[in-house]
Structure 1
Amino acid sequence: MHDVPLWLWIVFGVLVLVSLAVDLLAHRTAHVIGFREAAAWSGAWIGLALAFGGLVFLVVGTDAGVEYTTAWLLEKSLSVDNLFVFALIFGYFKVPRAYQHRVLFLGVLGALVFRGIFLAAGVAVVNRFTAVLFVFAAILFYSTYKILKGEDESFDPGKSFAVRLLRKFIPVRDEYAGPHFFVKEAGKRVGTPLLAVVAAIEAADLVFAVDSVPAVLAVSSDIFIVYTSNAFAILGLRALYFLLAGLLDRFHYLSVGLALILAFIGVKLVLQASHKTISTSVPEIPSLVSLAVIVVVLAASIGLSMLRPPPEKESERGG
């Protein structure tokens, strides 16, 4: 555990609240977010995350800084999988592009709360029962298998538990009513499809937390490191989605890269758990090595995707 001063927690909280307020004010009027606007916001979120990482380096120390950077980049890379699901959900519910940011904003708020709960619980369990790291490793290996087999593509937004539960308690109409989540019909309050979309987004994030939480706990078991890195990665998720919208299919090797990263983190967890529960002679993988592996795998998968277009693209060129 790192010695984190209270004021650094306060700085983090203020940064998150101010960032959310600025983002909300900047997008108070529903509009289609173009590439240039998304690029500017994405750059701002990345800059903010790296600046906070620099503060962690200076205040808490080099080890903490490396762990934060590794955890943030890991979470950022794993969040790309979320983007594919967001695109699937928006396509399924035919969400107008002008309202997509509003939905994702609420999704981010929910993710910040739920990730905080899951990470706090995960840290508490790991600190008390180190052997649970073997279970987390098994989860990551299974997730690797699912990605490589393409089983993650079977997600059906309309059949998600959250959407079905919502429809049981709140009637949801079929037509949108601008950016509103509720409208009144015949004197009764009913939900619009946007409400169902938010439920689907939150449900998807809960599913992704099953991979994300064990993975980040392989980097650090310090709640400050794992939560702040997750929070800054989540905050930049909306801008990243609009930046890459329409280009996701082009990065067809990225899923393989993410699978390799999950498998590597799974191995790191096994070694870490073995070192702590079986024998201290079992080597552990340093965070700096983990950071290097994540950077190399991401760069290679993106580079290969750009050099070798998907099969359908090649066929289009041939035609």
Structure 2
Amino acid sequence: MHVPLWIWLVTIVVIIAFFAFDFVTHVRDAHEPTIKESTFWSLFYIGIAFVMMFGIAWLWDWDHAGQFIAGYTTEKALSVDNLFVFLIIMTSFKVPKLAQQKALLLGIAIALIMRMIFIVAGAAILEAWSWVFYIFGAWLLFMAVRQAIESFQDDEPEMPSWVNLVKKVIHTSEEYNDDKWTVMKDGKKAMTPLVLVVVSLGFTDLLFALDSIPAIFGITQEAYLVFLANAVALMGLRQLYFLIGALLERLVFLDLGLAFILGFIGVKLVFHALHVNELPFVNGGQPVMWVPEIPIWFSLAFIFGVLAIATIASLIYSRGGDGESEAVEAASSQAS
């Protein structure tokens, strides 16, 4: 699918417009969003994703539309896992509720700019050297195994260690001034910790892109669709943070579900690498034609199926745990 330059430019302008709209309507007037507000705008951005899916189907075909929505769903699911670390960063820096929307929006904007560079570079590398698909596939399989192992551990997510380095490079005051960038201290103007928070969120999200972007390249090799799926998923991430922040602890099987998805896409990438093989020591440098290309409909069914099972199982498990806790508390109160 050849995407003309003007479509790239129009898409980027529209995305910038959405970020500007978010800033003017939600962030400029600093406030803590309600559940109703977060739900509405989360559904709004999900709706935008499906509108784009139908637009791609109309302009190109349903196969590319399926690739987009599968990539968007994968990125959205992986971004939910990222929210754990975002929550830790917000808590560690003691970010006021009024300033959290601004920090998230600007941090996500920084991440999207860096992701675009990553995507363009990745697409160019994959087009020049098809054997890189083997590396992407192996990396995702490694990440899947690591994610699965970590899902059985009770350790809480930790603050990225490099965040402390950012604190040493960027010197700020210890006090916030609502959602302002500066504060008067000892008669001098100083930057607030909000600067550190934005930088930390942006670069943390970029690190998470090391598995999410190769995963989407496993679904589609179209750089435009990879970028669009990332952009739309990130646009709704701020609202999702406030909407499901209280539910994150209940999604106990999400990590395991994501491990299955990463493993599946890793296998899909290896299959694709074999199908376009050029390595001389693999099948004499010829494509391995008996290896199947996994169709997009199967990828969609697998991704949605795993997410549905992980979510339902998590809610059932959490409800059972809540019931046991209530029973223990009731027994304790009766005993006393």
Segments of 5+ residues of structure 1 without an aligned counterpart are: none
Q: CA deviation at 1:155?
A: 5.1
Match of 1:305 in 2: 314
Match of 1:119 in 2: 119
Q: CA deviation at 1:7?
A: 4.7
Superposed, 1:269-288 pairs within 5 Å as 269-277=269-277, 278-288=287-297
Asked if 1 retains the 8 angstrom alpha-carbon contact of 2:56 and 2:65, the reply is: yes
**Equivalent position SS for 2:190:** strand
Name which one, 1 or 2, has greater alpha-carbon Rg: 2
Letter in 1 for 2:112: L
Superposed, 1:59-98 pairs within 5 Å as 59-98=59-98
Asked if 2 retains the 8 angstrom alpha-carbon contact of 1:170 and 1:191, the reply is: no
Measured on the aligned residues, the alpha-carbon RMSD in Å equals 2.0
Q: CA deviation at 1:74?
A: 1.0
Match of 1:206 in 2: 206
Asked if 1 retains the 8 angstrom alpha-carbon contact of 2:175 and 2:183, the reply is: no
Q: What TM-score do the two structures reach when normalised by structure 1?
A: 0.92
Asked if 2 retains the 8 angstrom alpha-carbon contact of 1:251 and 1:306, the reply is: yes
Match of 1:14 in 2: 13
2:22 paired with 1:23: yes
**Equivalent position SS for 2:183:** strand
Asked if 2 retains the 8 angstrom alpha-carbon contact of 1:133 and 1:269, the reply is: yes
**Equivalent position SS for 2:19:** helix
Superposed, 1:231-310 pairs within 5 Å as 231-277=231-277, 278-309=287-318
Asked if 1 retains the 8 angstrom alpha-carbon contact of 2:170 and 2:196, the reply is: no
Write out per-residue CA displacement over residues 203-256 of structure 1, whole angstroms, 9 at most, x where no aligned residue: 211210110111011111111111011100110111111110111111111111
Asked if 1 retains the 8 angstrom alpha-carbon contact of 2:107 and 2:200, the reply is: no
Match of 1:229 in 2: 229
Q: CA deviation at 1:132?
A: 1.1
Distance in 2, Cα, partners of 1:226 & 1:292: 19
Distance in 1, Cα, partners of 2:141 & 2:90: 29
Q: CA deviation at 1:269?
A: 0.7
Asked if 2 retains the 8 angstrom alpha-carbon contact of 1:107 and 1:202, the reply is: yes
Q: What TM-score do the two structures reach when normalised by structure 2?
A: 0.88
Write out per-residue CA displacement over residues 4-32 of structure 1, whole angstroms, 9 at most, x where no aligned residue: 34453344223212211211111211111
Letter in 1 for 2:193: P
Write out per-residue CA displacement over residues 272-310 of structure 1, whole angstroms, 9 at most, x where no aligned residue: 111110412211111221111000000111111122217
Letter in 1 for 2:293: E
Letter in 1 for 2:273: A
Distance in 1, Cα, partners of 2:270 & 2:61: 26
Which moved further from structure 2: 258-267 or 9-18? 9-18
Match of 2:33 in 1: 33
Matched positions, count: 316
Letter in 1 for 2:25: A
Match of 2:179 in 1: 179
Write out per-residue CA displacement over residues 139-167 of structure 1, whole angstroms, 9 at most, x where no aligned residue: 2122122222228966543x632x34433
Q: Percent identity?
A: 37
Q: CA deviation at 1:184?
A: 4.7
Distance in 1, Cα, partners of 2:31 & 2:293: 49
Asked if 2 retains the 8 angstrom alpha-carbon contact of 1:137 and 1:269, the reply is: yes
Q: Label 1:306 to 1:312 Cα distance change in 2 as closer, same or farther (>3 A).
A: closer
Distance in 2, Cα, partners of 1:208 & 1:310: 30
Distance in 2, Cα, partners of 1:196 & 1:3: 40
Q: CA deviation at 1:129?
A: 1.1
2:132 paired with 1:132: yes
Q: CA deviation at 1:3?
A: 2.7
Asked if 1 retains the 8 angstrom alpha-carbon contact of 2:109 and 2:202, the reply is: no
Which moved further from structure 2: 302-311 or 92-101? 302-311
